Structure 1
Amino acid sequence: MSIKKVYLIRHGQTDYNVQCIVQGSGVNSQLNDEGQRQASLFFQHYKHIPFDKVYTSTLQRSIQSVQGFLDLGIPHETHAGLNEINWGTREGTRITPEEDAYYHNILQTWCDGETHVCIEGGESPDLVAERQKSVIQTILSRPEEETILICMHGRAMRILLCQLLRYPLRCMDQFEHRNLCLYQLDYTGSMFTVKSYCDTAHLHVAKLPDLAAPGTHEQIR
């Protein structure tokens, strides 16, 4: 069997990212100017790759991040299973110190292995993993799609990487992410291997100040 190459990216920057506002599956935000620039830089760097299919979530920030490839006529599918985790009552709100404390407690709960616990009014990692399974099955059932591009969201991407690489979900925070970062994986028919980890080299051309630096807020969007 030939190797399936998977290019997995997080969406570009939105105003919600800059303003530290929680945007989960219930917030359908658009890319801001910097996010559009990031998408353009990624496209210019990888437009030579012969993608057989582009997969995205149903949210417009993920679709806009790969629009250059869609304009080339590459087949495209949206899947709700790739949507961001539902952050419940905190979606659309600016993070306060009190909410940060609650958020850190939830993250610690998940890191302790209690990934069945839902954030207030929202989803748990277990629920996100369950809805991702049908998407994974669809992708793996199509050997004719040898090279694919997937665009999705930070927390959901961490969960997906755990599933593809057979890590327990409590380890998901080991997978870092930035706006428009790339994970490149190869699938041999029995297992995935990581070729590139949170790669942002394509964004380093005329790079603007990084408004989505690592930290508490970066992890929740």
Structure 2
Amino acid sequence: MQRFCVILRVNFGKICHSTPVRLTQKTIYLIRHGETDYNRRGVVQGSGVDSDLNDMGRAQAMAFFQAYQHVPFNKIYISGLKRTYQTAEPFMELGVPYEKLTGLNEISWGVMEGKAPGNLDNEYYSSLVKAWSSGDTSVTTEGGESPDQVVVRQKVAIDTILSHPDEKLVLVAMHGRAMRILLCWITNQPLSEMDHFEHSNLCLYKLQYDYDSATFTIELSNDTSHLLSLAMMH
């Protein structure tokens, strides 16, 4: 613990005071869930499809755990969907506490969820993403959500995570499109830029949050170096 001395001129004495170290930063390991059969087949999942990890996804989860099991996470935050629970489960088995935050759920793709990508679906999807990239992020899928709506619930979830400054190291498991949306607004970029944030199954974004300036910085982007040993499984 740091100590400093204050000279009090009133009594010409010297008094030493101990001061607590102020925690000013939080490190967030932000990961996308491991692969599901829907991912492999190119089927839209969204928040309405609660799929399990497939064999590759479980292998990815274990590879990530083996690479980062030494990190002393104080807490794990997952979405309400079981593919994020299964991704972070090896850390939970170490006894790391976890909390579900549905604000971290994937975007709802509405009528597109669970559908194989046919020509019509591809056209619908591409026109939707084009509208978002042009800045019209209030557009929703039929029966689904817009990026603007996702931000509203994400802010509640992130406020919850940041409200615990004692949790210096946290692991957050979530979803691809939701991650892109999150990374935009926490770095003060317009949501139209979301597709610039690359992601793949079990990729890692390492973030630093500074409490004094209330700003996020990205230290690692779409890192998959922990998955190199699995390349032969594809």
- The TM tier, using the shorter chain, reads over 0.9
Q: Find the counterpart in structure 2 of residue 98 from structure 1.
A: 120
Between the aligned residues of both structures, percent identity stands at 51
Q: Relative contact order, CA 8 A, sep 6+: which one is greater?
A: 1
Unaligned runs of 5+ in 2: 1-22
Matched, 1:145 2:162: no
8 Å contact from structure 1 (residues 8, 183) kept in 2: yes
What is the aligned partner in structure 2 of residue 73 from structure 1? 95
* Distance apart, 1:146 and its partner CA: 0.4
Partner of 2:221: 197
Matches within 5 A, 1:46-195: 46-189=68-211, 190-195=214-219
Q: Which runs of 5+ in 1 are unaligned?
A: 211-221
What one-letter code is carried by the residue in structure 1 that aligns with 2:170?
Answer: I
Q: Distance in 1 between matches of 2:103 and 2:58?
A: 24
Check conservation: 2:209, 2:215, Cα contact below 8 A.
yes
RMSD (CA atoms)? 1.0
Question: 2:137–2:146: 8 Å Cα contact kept in structure 1?
Answer: yes
Distance 1:208 1:171 in 2: 33
Please say which structure displays the higher CA radius of gyration.
Answer: 2
| Cα deviation, residue 2, structure 1 | 3.0
Asked if the contact 2:56/2:233 (under 8 Å) is kept, the reply is no
- Judge conservation of contact 1:2–1:146 (CA < 8 Å) in 2: no
| TM-score normalised by structure 1 residue count | 0.93
Paired residues, number: 210
Q: Which structure: greater strand fraction?
A: 2
Change (3 A) 1:202 1:95: same
Kindly report structure 1 stretches of 4+ aligned residues shifted beyond 3 Å: none
Is the partner of 2:232 in helix, strand or coil?
A: coil
TM-score normalised by length of structure 2:
0.88
